[in-house]
Amino acid sequence: MTKEETMALLEKFFGECLRYWERTLKVDSDTSNEAYKFAIGDIPKRNPYKMNGEELNREWVEEFRKYRLMDCYGKNWEAFQ
């Protein structure tokens, strides 16, 4: 799987998780970062769309996670790693 494919897969899964947490917590991610926090915690290390999914490139997963933390916490994102 290429980096672009991996990032697209993570983006799709993250969006699904974010919508799930918005419904579950009854919040809007535009006004509250609670759903975002839970969705960040759900970022997978293996392909979630495959049975016994192959392991995703750790470096790319961490890069994706870093960008989501930046989206959520801004300049202070490193304090929440």
Domain ranges of the chain: 3-55+64-80
Is the pLDDT reported for residue 30 higher than 90? no
Residues 15/42, Cβ–Cβ less than 8 Å:
no
Name the pTM for this structure: 0.91
Residue 79: is its pLDDT beyond 80? no
Q: What is the mean pLDDT of the segment spanning 17-32? A: 94
Nearest to 9 by CA among 70, 67, 60, 52: 60
Q: Can you tell me the distance from the alpha carbon of 59 to that of 54, in angstroms, rounded to the nearest whole number?
A: 15
The whole-number pLDDT of residue 46 equals 97
Alpha-carbon distance of 47 to 80, in angstroms, equals: 24
Task: Tell me the one-letter amino acid at 64.
Answer: F
pLDDT value at residue 61 = 98
pLDDT tens readout for residues 47-67: 999 988 899 999 999 999 999
Contact 80, 73 (CB under 8 A): yes
Q: How confident is the model at residue 40 (pLDDT cuts 50, 70, 90)?
A: very high
